[in-house]
Every structure is written in C-alpha cells, then in structure tokens.
Structure 1
Amino acid sequence: MALPERLILGLAGLAGLLGVAASAAAAHRAEAESLRIAAQFLLFHAPALVGLAALAGGGLIRVPLTRIAAAALGLGLVLFCGDLSMRALARTPLFPMAAPSGGLLLMAGWLLVAVSGLLRTR
C-alpha cells in the first residue's frame, strides 16, 4: 500500500477515534445534538475512507481520483464536524461558513467517489 493510501487509512482511524469520542461526550451533555451529528458523520465516513484506501491500494478504482476524493472527504469532515463540535463544546463557530463549506466538500468528495467507481481503471 502506497503512502497516500496509508495516509487515507490513518485519516479513517482518526475519524473513527474522534467519532467515538464525540459520541461519548454527547452522551454526557444535555444539549448536544450538533455534537451527535458530528459524531455520526465521523463514524459514517471512517469505514468509507478505509474502503477507499483498500480499493485504491488494490488498483480497483482510479487511484489519483480516489486520492482527491479522500482528501475532499477528509477536509470536509474537518470543517463540518469541527464547526459542529466547536459550537457544541466551546459555544463558538470554527469560522464563518465552515460547516456549509465542509458539507459542500463532503458532497464533492462523494461525487468523486462515484466518478472514480464508474471510470475504467487503466
């Protein structure tokens, strides 16, 4: 497995770790709906990133496009989940428009996943 795929796998592990931590924190807070949503997004995307790393590492889908898709998903998670978590835990946004920007990156990442799956590998 090449370095970029190992980085994607590391990102998946980090997303899973933070998803579990956010879930635990949300369980102990009375008003933590946005933290629960962030945890869900992290936990939903962690296995997807593992799958992308495996598919790219095995050459089963377009590797460069898959790496870009994984980067978009990772950055989207940072912005979207980071903003929701900051709002829940620190009562302040990450920065203006962080969550919507992250959401758009997540959608773009999933679109790239779809395209990479439809294109033939070389």
Structure 2
Amino acid sequence: MNPGADAVPRWMVVVAALLGLTGVVAGAFGAHGLDGAVAPDRLSAFETGARYQVFHALALLAVGVLAGQGLAGRWLTASALCFTVGVGLFSGSLYGLVLLNWAFLGPITPLGGLLLMAGWLLLAVAALTSQSHSGGERR
C-alpha cells in the first residue's frame, strides 16, 4: 500500500472527530449555558450551528471512509474541504453572532451554507465518477 494513500482519509477522520466533539460541546453549552441567557431566536440560531456542525462531522467521516476505499480521490478531497470550511463559516458565524454579537458575521453564514451544499454535490460527483466500483458491485 502506498504510504501516502491513507493520508487524506486520516486528516478527514481527525477533523471529523474534532468537529463532532466540538459540535456536541456547543450543543450542550447551548442547551445548558445559553438557555435563558440569550433570546430564543439567538438560542435557535446557536442550536442550528451545532446541529449542522455535527451533521457535517458525520458527513466528513463518511468521506474519509470512502476515500480510504479508493472512491474518486480529488472529488472527495474537494468535498471534504467544502465541508470543513463550510462548517467553519456557517456554524462559526452563527456562534459569533450569538456569543459575541458580531453582526458583521451575518453575511458569512450563507457562504458557509453554500460550501456545505457544494460538499454534498462534490460527494455525488465522486460517486458518479468513481472507477472503483462497476455496476454497483464491489470488487
């Protein structure tokens, strides 16, 4: 096996694990630390950030596993990057809006959302262009 072949999936799994961990921490903080401390609409925005962070941590983990199986590497890498940066921009901007009241982050949230959507699209492209499986059967 090529020593560099598992480098891409490894970083994806590590980042996915860290995003999952911090997403759960954010969710718990929102539920227990912010409940009653911020307006309900702000708490809802914070919870949305945490929820999307955990969802996309799982998506990134799946991308890492698929990359380890040899599924269309460059498309998966692009998908993983979109998920990673998208979570940072989407969830991060929501956290900043709620915790720091930084209104200038408002326009960044949709950009993060677009990157998350692009990540899903690139994942589909990876599956459609993969040479590792033919006719739906595993080799």
What is the match of residue 11 of structure 1? 15
| Structure 1 position 21 matched with structure 2 position 25 | yes
Instruction: Report the aligned-residue RMSD.
Output: 1.5
Instruction: List 4+ stretches of structure 1 deviating above 3 A.
Output: 93-96
What is the match of residue 93 of structure 2? 83
Deviation, 1:120, is 2.8
- Unaligned ranges ≥5, structure 2: 133-139
Larger radius of gyration: 2
| Structure 1 position 44 matched with structure 2 position 72 | no
- Unaligned ranges ≥5, structure 1: none
What is the match of residue 126 of structure 2? 116
Per mean C-alpha deviation after superposition, the further-off stretch among 5-14 and 75-84 is 5-14
| Structure 1 position 62 matched with structure 2 position 72 | yes
Deviation, 1:12, is 0.4
Percent sequence identity over aligned pairs: 36
Distance, in Å, in 2 between the alignment partners of 1:42 and 1:111 is: 18
Distance of aligned partners of 1:119 and 1:96 in 2 relative to their CA distance in 1, 3 Å threshold: same
Deviation, 1:96, is 5.4
> What code does the residue aligned with 1:55 have?
L
The count of aligned residue pairs is 121
Aligned with 2:131: secondary structure?
coil
Deviation, 1:49, is 1.0
TM-score by length of structure 2 reads 0.81
Per mean C-alpha deviation after superposition, the further-off stretch among 85-94 and 103-112 is 85-94
Deviation, 1:34, is 1.0
Deviation, 1:111, is 0.4
TM-score by length of structure 1 reads 0.91
What is the match of residue 107 of structure 2? 97
Deviation, 1:98, is 1.1
Aligned with 2:9: secondary structure?
helix
What is the match of residue 116 of structure 2? 106
> What code does the residue aligned with 1:87 have?
L
